[in-house]
């Protein structure tokens, strides 16, 4: 095989790629899924406690509240507006600080604290806001609390839904770039007859297949890395993340190449993609539902690339802990080569 001819075919595919719908879809997919899952579902399932404050006396509590991490604090001009926002569930709670509130607390008096809760607010947010407000008022008194509260997390710490959705986004990125792009490119050339014209020249069928695999490999690697960056899940070991992404791109591109070689028409290609899509997606569901028996996911081939990406990028673990998964993924990729050489005869028939 000629490396020079392979690279020429790859460069040609990248040059004409922006004119192809499948190429554009693969490029847009990471951005679209990140917007959908992270900004929509992530905000839906993990809302910050929303606190509104009406301050008539420039209280220190207002300043402290604005500096709270994990809170959405709004300063409201009047009580009527505050009550309307709480009633309409635009705020989880509303706090009214009267004029001279700080001085009254420091003097040992018991000023009235108007505190309003939305009936639709989450119970967890109510508790968080109430405890935080009491702690800030306690700080005004300059006294130490009579008890000390130590928070202990019992069991495995849960991960936010937005983080558990990362494997879903990475899967679809790898599927579109690694499987869809090379298979669609190959089938399109078979339907148009351009591949026969290429094979009349000095270009060999093995070089065409190598070029299509390389096309998917490069595209999938780039978009998978971009997806992890967009979702702030690149992890503390960027070089190790890139290594596991390359293994994942190699496997998914090989699957895409097999599909492209086997499919004779676009209709057959769509049928194969739809049929295999559910089968390939199954291991990703186990990251969304961690209570499911995890051993089941090991039955499916893409588990062996999604798991290393999950552990190294999202969980921040060392690549040395996923060497076995990467080895299995590499062996699966190599095991597909004989099948590819067998199926290539179908293209020439």
Sheet with 72-75, strands from edge to edge, namely 72-75, 50-55, 93-97, 114-117
Q: Which of 106, 141, 176 finishes a domain?
A: 141
**Does 72 lie in the same domain as 17?**
no
| Residue 297 and residue 252 in one domain | yes
The answer to whether residue 154 sits within a structural domain is no
**153 part of a folded domain:** no
- Both 109 and 237 in one domain: the answer is no
Q: In this predicted structure, what is the pLDDT of residue 145?
A: 43
CB atoms within 10 A of CB 36: 13
Q: 171 with 70, same domain? A: no
With respect to residue 80, please indicate whether it lies within any of the assigned structural domains: yes
- Residues 256, 108 share a domain: no
- CATH number of the domain within which 67 lies: 3.40.1710.10
Q: Which domain holds residue 135?
A: 48-141
Task: Say if residue 36 is in the same domain as residue 56.
Answer: no
**In this structure, are 326 and 300 located in the same domain?**
yes
Q: Is residue 64 part of a domain?
A: yes
Mean pLDDT of the chain: 82
Domain for residue 155, yes or no?
no
pLDDT in tens, 31-79: 887 777 766 655 444 567 888 999 988 888 888 888 887 788 889 989 8
Q: Quick: pLDDT tens for 136-175.
A: 777 766 655 443 434 343 334 455 666 777 888 888 888 8
Number of domains the chain contains: 2
Do 61 and 184 belong to one domain? Answer: no
Q: What is the pLDDT of residues 167-205, one digit of tens each?
A: 888 888 888 888 889 999 988 888 888 887 777 788 888
The answer to whether residues 115 and 232 belong to one domain is no
Do 182 and 134 belong together in one domain? no
Same domain, 123 and 77: yes
In a domain, 146, yes or no: no
H runs (alpha helix) in the chain: 3-16, 21-34, 42-45, 60-66, 79-87, 101-106, 123-141, 161-164, 166-174, 181-192, 194-200, 205-230, 238-262, 266-288, 303-309, 323-348
Same domain, 32 and 52: no
Q: CB-based burial of residue 178 (10 Å sphere; 0-12 exposed, 13-18 middle, 19+ buried)?
A: buried
Q: What is the pTM of this model?
A: 0.67
Q: Is the pLDDT of residue 12 over 70?
A: yes
Please indicate, yes or no, if residue 151 is contained in any of the structural domains. Answer: no
Cα separation, 126 vs 51, whole angstroms: 10
Q: Is residue 314 part of a domain?
A: yes
């Amino acid at each position: 095989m000629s490396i020079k001819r392979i690279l020429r075919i790859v460069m040609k595919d990248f040059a004409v790629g922006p004119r192809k719908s499948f190429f554009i879809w693969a490029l847009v997919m990471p951005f679209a899924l990140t917007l959908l899952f992270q900004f929509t579902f992530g905000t839906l399932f993990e809302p910050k406690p929303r606190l509104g404050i009406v301050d008539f006396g420039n209280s220190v509590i207002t300043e402290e509240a604005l500096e709270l991490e994990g809170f959405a604090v709004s300063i409201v001009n009047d009580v009527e507006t505050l009550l309307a926002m709480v009633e309409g569930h635009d705020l989880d709670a509303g706090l009214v600080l009267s004029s001279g509130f700080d001085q009254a607390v420091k003097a040992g008096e018991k000023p009235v604290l108007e505190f309003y809760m939305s009936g639709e607010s989450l119970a967890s947010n109510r508790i968080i806001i109430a405890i935080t407000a009491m702690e800030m008022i306690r700080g005004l008194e300059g006294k130490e609390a009579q008890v000390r509260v130590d928070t202990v997390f019992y069991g495995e710490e849960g991960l936010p839904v937005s983080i558990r959705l990362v494997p879903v986004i990475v899967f679809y990125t790898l599927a579109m770039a690694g499987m869809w792009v090379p298979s669609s490119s190959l089938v399109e050339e078979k339907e148009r007859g351009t591949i026969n014209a290429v094979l009349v020249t000095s270009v060999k069928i093995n070089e065409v297949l190598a070029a299509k695999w390389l096309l998917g490999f490069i595209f999938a690697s780039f978009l998978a890395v971009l997806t992890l960056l967009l979702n702030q899940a690149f992890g503390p070991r960027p070089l190790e993340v890139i290594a596991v992404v390359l293994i994942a791109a190699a496997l998914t591109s090989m699957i895409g190449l097999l599909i492209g070689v086997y499919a004779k028409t676009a209709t057959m290609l769509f049928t194969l993609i739809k049929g295999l899509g559910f089968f390939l997606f199954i291991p990703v569901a186990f990251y969304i539902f961690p209570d499911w028996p995890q051993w089941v996911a090991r039955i499916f081939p893409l588990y062996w690339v999604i798991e290393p990406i999950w552990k190294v990028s999202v969980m921040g673990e060392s690549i040395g802990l996923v060497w076995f998964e990467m080895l299995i993924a590499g062996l699966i990729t190599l095991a597909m080569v004989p099948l590819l050489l067998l199926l290539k005869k179908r293209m020439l028939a």
